[in-house]
Every structure is written in structure tokens, then in C-alpha cells.
Amino acid sequence: MVPEAQKADNVYTVVMPKLGLIMTEALLVEWRKKEGEWVDKGEVLFAMESDKSTLEIEAPASGYVHILVAAGEVVPVQTPICLISDQLQSPKPVVEQLPRVQEVHSDVKMLKQPDTISVSDIVPRVAASPKARTLARRLNLDLTKISASGPKGMIVSNDVANASKQKDAPSETLPLSGLRAVIAERLSASWRERPQVTLVTEIDATDLVSARSQIQLETGKKLSYNAFFMAAVARALYEHPYVNAHLEKDGLCRMEAIHIGIAVDTPRGLMVPVVRDVDHKGLLEIDDELKRLAANALEGRSTPDELSGGTFTITNLGQFGIDAFTPIINPPEAAILGVGRISPRPFVFNGQLAVRETVTLSLSFDHRLLDGAPAARFLQRVSQLLERPVLLYSHKFGV
Amino acid sequence: MREISYSEAIREAMCEEMRRDASVFLMGEDVGVFGGVWGVSHDMLQEFGEERVLDTPISEIAIVGAGLGAALVGMRPIVEIMFGDFLMCAGDQIVNQVAKARFMSGGKASVPLTIRVTSGAPGSAAAQHSQSPESWFMNIPGLKIVVPATPADAKGLLKTALRGEDPVIFLEHKMLYGEVGPVPEDPDFMVPFGEANILRSGKDLTIIAVGIMVKKALEAAAQLEKESIDAEVVDVRTLVPLDKPTLIASVARTGRVIVAHEAHVRSGPGAEIAAMLAEEAIEYLDGPIVRVGAKNVPLPYSPVLEQFVLPGVADIVRAARSFWPAHT
């Protein structure tokens, strides 16, 4: 059948055909006739591509081709794309006065199977019983993804029920919440893109435990160990600025500010609130800030600013009885410090075996940014600072 | 309960009502001396006499017209039309007079006329003596259309017709006359119009059957049971009025429906039932509504061709299997 192209003064307007109920636009892949070239009715005039397939469209009339839309453009369906005229000269742009042209369902051919096309190949249609449709709607299942067992290839309610069971069977599949999805994406990227190496060291934390008690005696405040770790890391970063870096697309970016994130386990998942300018803050101030940010994160009140901009991250699993682990870098940062449980352990102290409070520190670093030795130096410095916590009480570095 | 034939059940209903009510009488071709060409009214002439069991001339329009006139003046006539195929001879009386008298008289006149008609194919009776004419009249408001499938229903539905105030076309399938079944002896046993009968409960499929196809549907259901298809069989009993709630409720339970009748498929009773279900029960349908009926050609004389054209148990079974393509 020839499509009913609109004819006016021996000019036919060819439009981008609508080949499916939901098709709104299509890519004009290629003109098979040049501007001004003669086309016979039934010859392939152009190729188009919809979201479903690539199709060749035949000319609805014979005449000289006058192209209105260049190949490579995506145009809405029913847009006039060329005129077929009995005149070699391009006709006046009559397009606007012309009524829209009929759909041309029957004049399309699949490129791969030119002889076996029917309307059902073009118009997407899911054969499903009314009951199946109702059920699928209620269960929020996509009928196009359900296999049919009913008469004439029809999806029946049992098919929908089975699809639902399959969906539910192995485990409850919950859609990734926004946060979970972000965590998944970031950690995958971190793991995929970064050659990560973890350095591990056990340090004597006896003086750290003692310092914390002394501060409590002096101020009445029970500081979080994380405040000490953060202060130590800040000072070490200040002294080893190559660790306080991001790898950006255009190169290594040394961060001036020292903003340290702390991993917080919340009901919604892992959050990393960031204490800003830690190098300018004293222990008590860091501790206040940590507690405030952690509370906000736990209650879901964190502002986006509180959760972004970190240059280094600390993650502490000591409270869960973990001694050591290999943390994954929080991109785009260069390293992350994992802190284990502080606990009395047998330890060689002053040449003798003694029971000392110890903690294992694990530093994972991006080996593209840091060599092993500088990273080790950084961790060594963090260790020193924690073993000599008196150094942390002042926030004036270099004292 | 004692068992009698469908034919005896009809005779019993007529006799009981004629004994009970003097305004009830029977007339038709050969209903008196001959006892009815199908023997239904045998010996009724002897009991009720020529005044109440009348042999008529061979004129359907006269028979129905006389019945109409008698009904309008207070009688409760039963008229017998020997073959449903001949109803068209009385077409104007039925369609334009009988069906419309109450409406055209502003409700002043009623026509309590029962038109007993034999229907269906008795085997090689050919195209003019084998038809199932129920849907011809379903399009005419004002008529009730009754299609008994069992002896008990034949008696109970006929008594409801005879005690009612409306014109009724009462279709007796010729091949059911010999069917024997339990029939209550209670002289007031009546089966109300508009109440379909679920003869077999099932969860997979509803077979809505009309007249003789009820029996075939039950046979088909027994076969399908062996294939683990659990079919429900519903006897409509009356096409007008149609028991929509029962039919819809059954389809809601099973999701699949076959409508089976001996009338031709095209515009047969199944067309109306299918359309009603599509309008009022579409959300329950889990597949197409499938009709089983006579093929759309005049019924042949040749037994081989007749069997080919008429719907049978195998047609219902085949239609049922079509809902589970992988199953077969």
C-alpha cells in the first residue's frame, strides 16, 4: 500500500512516520536519494532509526526529491522531512500550509528481514489478558518482561503471578536507596580505579588512654578517641602534605585545607561527616565538632556541606571488637586510616614483655599518588603522635 | 425422588396447572388426538376434553394469534409450535403483538401466553427442522426466553411460565425429551426465571451452557477433569432474564469462560453473554471469551456433515484446552 502523502500542486510531503504507539521521534539515518534526484514510487527513500529498530522507508510517490531535514537529525514524528515534486526546482516551502500526512505503517521494511514484516512487528503490543494486566499493574511488573503461556501467546494472570514469585523468591530485592546507591557507586569506583595498598602497624596506646583520662580529670569531658586520631592525622597531613591530595582528571591536586571525614554508621547506611580545618582546631574543639556532626548524621539532619569536601577519612571499627582491617579509600581522597580496637595486649615495652594498651592502625593509600615509603612515613608519624599524645594537646603545630 | 423423562415432566406441569387453574389450556398442531407430534401431550385430550386441548389448523400465525387473543381476555394459553423453525410464520404476532401488548396498552393488558416450541437438531431433520431459534427473539424486549436443560427444570420453569403474567418462549430441545431425571412431585414446585444453576463447581474454567449443551458441558468437564482442568458448568436456564450475577461471579472465580449453545455461533445467545461479560466482568477475564456453537451454515441433512456442523463434547474440550497451549 502506498502511504497517503499529502499532495498539493503536484508536491508530496513526506513526514517522519510514527511507527509505534509510543514513538515520539526518530533518527533520520540516511537519505538514499540525493537532493534533486528522481525517485520512483516504492523505491527506498530514506532509512530511519527508532528506539526499536532501523527501518527503510519507501517513497510514497514518484518525483524529484527535495530534502528538508538532513540525515543524522532526530526529528519528532509527523515532521515533514522531504518533498517529492514533479519539478526539478525546489518547490516553494509549502510545508506549513499542508495538512499533516497520514501514517505510513505499511511501507516500512526491516533492514534485516525485508520480506517478513507485519504491523505487529512495528507497533509494540503486549498480548495479555485483562486479569493479567490488572495483576501486573498491582504488582508493578513490566508485562514486556513476562513470558506468556496463554492462548495465542497471551500473558495470563498465572504468568504474572509466576514472574512475581521469581522476583520475590531468592530474597527480597529492595531498590537501592539514594544513599546506598551512592555508596555502591563510590566504593565500586574506588576499588575499580585505584590500586590500593594497606599498611598496618600496631602502636602502644597506653599513653593515649592515659591522656584521655587526664583530660577528663582536668576538664570533666570524656573525649572521643576519634578526636585524638583526627588531631594526629591532621598534624601528620600538615607535615606530609603529599598525602592530603586528590587525583583529579587533570592531575594531582594538593589540598590546602585539612578537612577530615569520619565514617559514621547510621540506620540509612555509611555517612562521612567532615570536620573542617582540623589543623586549626584543638582537641576539645575537634571533639565537640565530631559529636555534633555524628549526631546530625545519625538523626539524618546532616547538611550537604557537612558531608562533603573531605581531604582524608578516618574509619574506626574498634567499638565492634575489630582489631585490624583494610579500609577502602573514599574517592577522590588519597588515603584512609582504619583504626582498630584499643585493648590491653602483651607488648614489648622498654625491652620487656608487658601488658600495654595497643591499637592497630591500617592506612590504605592510592599507590598512583603515593609510593610505599612516603605513605609509611606518614603512618609512622601518625603513630608517633598517638604514642606521644601530649603533642596533640596544642593545636599550634611545630611546637 | 422418582425419575421421569423431560417429556413427561413437561406434560406433568401442563396437567397440574390445567387441573389447578381452569384458565390454562393447550392448543397447537396435533396436540389433541395425536397427542403431540413428539408425544408430549399424550392422553391430555381424554382428561381435559376438546375445549381445553385444541387441535389447530396448520397456521402458526393463527395459533399464536389465537393464543394472544385468549391471553388478552384473561386466559392462560399454552400454544405449541411443532418446530421452532416455524416461529417465523408467527413472527408478526410474536414480535409486534405478543411482546408489545403491555407496553402499547400502557400496562393495562398483559399476555400470559406460553409458547412451547421444540428446538434443536434431532438428527438428519435438515435445515428447516433443526434450528435453535432462541437468539432470534433475544433482541425483542417483552419476551421471556426459557431453555430448560433437565426434566426438573422443564417442569419447574414451565410452571413458572404458566403462573406468570408475561409471554414466554419455552424452548424444548427434541433430543432432551427422552432424558430421565429426578423431578419433584410437589404441585407447587417452581423454578424461578433468572436464576442460573451451577451444576458443577470448578476453579479453572466456567462453561456457560444453554439447553442441550448443559449435558455436553458436563461430559466435557468430566473429560477435562482427567487432564487436571477443573471446569465449572453453569446452566443459564433462562436467556431472558439472564442471571448476570451468577455468571459474573463464576467468571470472577475462574477467569476463563466458554459459552456453549447449539444455536449458530454468529449472533447466537453466546454473543450476548460474551458482550455482557466483556462489559461487566472484563477485569476478571484471563483469556478470550470462547464461544462454542453450530458453525455458520444451515444445518445439513447428511449425518456426517451435521455432526461436523453441530457443537459437541469434543468442541468444548478443545476450546477448554486452548486456554493452556503448553498443556496440550
pLDDT tens for residues B147-205? 999 999 999 999 999 999 999 999 999 999 999 999 999 999 999 999 999 999 999 99
pLDDT of residue A124: 47
Give the pLDDT score at A326. 93
B contact set with A (CB within 8 A): 255, 282-288, 322-326
Q: Are B67 and B60 in contact (CB under 8 A)?
A: no
Quickly tell me which residue has 614489648 as its cell. A348
Q: How confident is the model at residue B277 (pLDDT cuts 50, 70, 90)?
A: very high
- Active-site entry in B129, B173, B261, B264: B129
Q: How far is A80 from B167, CA to CA, in rounded Å?
A: 65
Tally of structural domains, chain B: 2
- If you average pLDDT over residues B74-88, what whole number do you get? 97
Mean pLDDT across chain A: 82
CB–CB of A107/A41 below 8 Å? no
Residues of chain B contacting A151 with CB distance shorter than 8 Å: 287-288, 322-323, 325
Q: Is the CB of B283 less than 8 angstroms away from the CB of A129?
A: no
Residue of chain B whose alpha carbon sits nearest to that of A132: B286
- Residue A168 has a pLDDT of 59
Give the CATH number, domain containing residue B260.
3.40.50.920
- Asked if residues A34 and A65 have their Cβ atoms less than 8 Å apart, the reply is yes
**Residue B51 located in a structural domain:** yes
Q: Are residues B201 and B108 in the same domain?
A: no
Q: Which of A29-38, A246-255, B86-95, B306-315 is predicted least confidently? A: A246-255
Residue B46 lies in a domain: yes
All residues of chain B having their beta carbon less than 8 Å from the beta carbon of residue A159 are none
Average pLDDT over residues B31-41: 95
Q: How far is A149 from chain B (nearest CA, A)?
A: 7
Beta-strand relationship, B76-81 and B114-119: parallel
The confidence score (pLDDT) of residue B174 equals 96
Residue where a domain stops, chosen among B133, B153, B182: B182
User: Where in the sequence of chain A do the CATH 2.40.50.100 domains occur?
Assistant: 6-122
Chain B CB contacts of A150 under 8 Å are 286-287, 323, 325
Of the two residues A345 and A178, the one the predictor is more confident about is A345
Residue A165 confidence class, pLDDT cut points 50, 70, 90: confident
Instruction: Report d(CA A194, CA B232) in Å as an integer.
Output: 66
Tell me whether residue B295 is in a domain: yes
Condensed to tens digits (0 to 9), the pLDDT of residues A224-281 reads 999 999 999 999 999 999 999 887 777 778 888 899 999 998 877 788 999 999 988 8
The pLDDT of B269-287, averaged and rounded, is 96
What's the confidence (pLDDT) of residue A176? 57
> What span, in angstroms and rounded, lies between the C-alpha atoms of A197 and A245?
16
Is there a contact between B285 and A151 if contact means CB atoms under 8 Å apart? no
Query: With contact defined as beta carbons under 8 Å apart, do B25 and B77 qualify?
Result: yes
Please give the Cα distance from A200 to A335 (Å, whole number).
13
In a domain, B314, yes or no: yes
CB-based burial label for B188 (10 Å; 0-12, 13-18, 19+): exposed
- Compare all CA atoms of chain A with the CA of B323 and give the residue at the minimum distance: A151
Q: Model confidence at A107, in pLDDT bands (50, 70, 90)?
A: very low
CATH fold label, A178-393 = Chloramphenicol Acetyltransferase (3.30.559)
**Enclosing domain of residue B316:** 197-327
Taking contacts as CB-CB distances below 8 angstroms, the residues of chain A near B288 are 151-152, 154
Q: Give the Cα separation of A68 and A86 in Å (integer).
A: 16
Q: Are residues B217 and B279 in the same domain?
A: yes
* Mean of pLDDT values over A161-170: 74
Q: Are residues B63 and B151 in the same domain?
A: yes
Among chain A, residues having any CB pair with chain B shorter than 8 Å are 129-132, 134, 149-152, 154, 156-158
| Residues B35 and B150 occupy one common structural domain | yes
CB of A156 closer than 8 Å to CB of A143: no
In a domain, B192, yes or no: no
The answer to whether the Cβ–Cβ distance between B325 and A130 falls below 8 Å is no
pLDDT at B328 > cutoff 60: no
Distance from CA of B244 to the nearest CA of A (A): 19
pLDDT for A122 beyond 50: no
Q: How far is B287 from chain A (nearest CA, A)?
A: 5
Which parts of chain B are beta strand (E)? Answer: 3-5, 24-28, 53-55, 76-81, 114-119, 144-146, 168-173, 180-182, 197-200, 205-209, 231-235, 238-240, 257-264, 289-294
Q: Does residue A21 register a pLDDT over 50?
A: yes
Taking every pair of C-alpha atoms in chain B, what is the biggest distance, in angstroms? 64
Q: Which of A146-160, A194-208, B61-75 has the highest mean pLDDT?
A: B61-75
Label residue A52 by pLDDT band (50, 70, 90): low
Q: Kindly state whether residue B61 falls inside one of the protein's structural domains.
A: yes
Q: Which of A122-136, A147-161, A237-251, B288-302 comes out lowest in average pLDDT? A: A122-136
Residues B46 and B147 in one domain: yes
The pLDDT value given to residue A186: 76
Task: Judge: A150–B285 Cβ closer than 8 Å, yes or no.
Answer: no
Average pLDDT (B198-214) is: 98
Query: Are B72 and B112 in a shared domain?
Result: yes
Regarding whether B243 and B103 lie in a shared domain, the answer is no
Pick the range with the lowest mean pLDDT from A137-146, A369-378, B11-20: A137-146
Q: Which residue bears the cell 570524656?
A: A222
Q: Kindly state whether residues B213 and B306 are assigned to the same domain.
A: yes
- How confident is residue B118, by pLDDT bands cut at 50, 70 and 90? very high
Chain B residues inside the 8 Å CB shell of A130: 282-286
Architecture of domain A126-159: Irregular (4.10)
For position A112, what pLDDT does the model report? Answer: 39
Say whether B129 is catalytic. yes
Kindly state whether residues B173 and B211 are assigned to the same domain: no
Intervals of CATH 3.30.559.10 along chain A: 178-393
B166 & B309 share domain: no
Please, which pLDDT band fits residue B276 given cuts at 50, 70 and 90?
very high
Confidence grade of residue A6 (pLDDT, cut at 50, 70, 90): low
Question: What does the block give as the cell for B272?
Answer: 450476548
Indicate whether A173 pLDDT > 70: no
Is residue B207 within 8 A of residue B234, CB to CB? The reply is yes
Q: What DSSP state is assigned to residue A73?
A: -
Q: Is residue B310 in some structural domain?
A: yes
Which among B283, B322, B323 is the nearest to A131, CB-wise? B283
Instruction: List CB contacts (< 8 A) between B286 and chain A.
Output: 129-132, 150, 156-158
Residue of A nearest to B278 (CA): A130
CB pairs under 8 A between A and B: 38
Cell numbers for B175? 433430543
Q: Residue A326 corresponds to which amino acid? A: T
Alpha helices, H only, A76-177:
119-122, 130-139, 157-168
Closest CA to B192 of B218, B151, B163, B214: B163
CB atoms within 10 A of CB A225: 19
CATH 4.10.320.10 in chain A, residue ranges: 126-159
| Residue B190 covered by a domain | no
As a whole-number percent, the residues of chain B with pLDDT over 90 amount to 98
Report pLDDT for A96: 39
Same domain, B318 and B229: yes
* A151/B255 CB distance under 8 A: no
Chain A partners of B255 at a C-beta cutoff of 8 Å?
Answer: 129, 131, 156-157
How near does any CA of chain B get to the CA of A127, in Å? 10
Asked if residue B108 has pLDDT above 90, the reply is yes
Q: Could you tell me the CATH number of the domain that includes residue B23?
A: 3.40.50.970
CB contact under 8 A, A130 and B322: no
pLDDT(A100) > 80: no
Please answer yes or no on whether B288 and A151 come within 8 Å at the CB atom. Answer: yes
Least confident range from A14-23, A41-50, B131-140: namely: A14-23
User: Do B286 and A156 count as a contact with CB atoms less than 8 A apart?
Assistant: yes
Give, for A247, the enclosing helix (H) or strand (E). strand A245-248
Nearest CA to A11 among A88, A110, A118, A71?
A88
As given in the structure block, the three cell numbers for residue A328 are 577502602
CATH architecture classification, A6-122: Beta Barrel (2.40)
Per-residue pLDDT, averaged over A282-294, amounts to: 92
| Average pLDDT of span A66-80 | 87
Alpha-carbon span A224 to B62, nearest angstrom: 111
Can you give B86-145 as a three-state secondary structure string? HHHHHHHHHHHHHCCHHHHCCCCCCCCCEEEEEECCCCCCCCCCCCCCHHHHHCCCCCEE
- The Cα A4–Cα A103 span in angstroms is 8
**Do B272 and B167 lie in a common domain?**
no
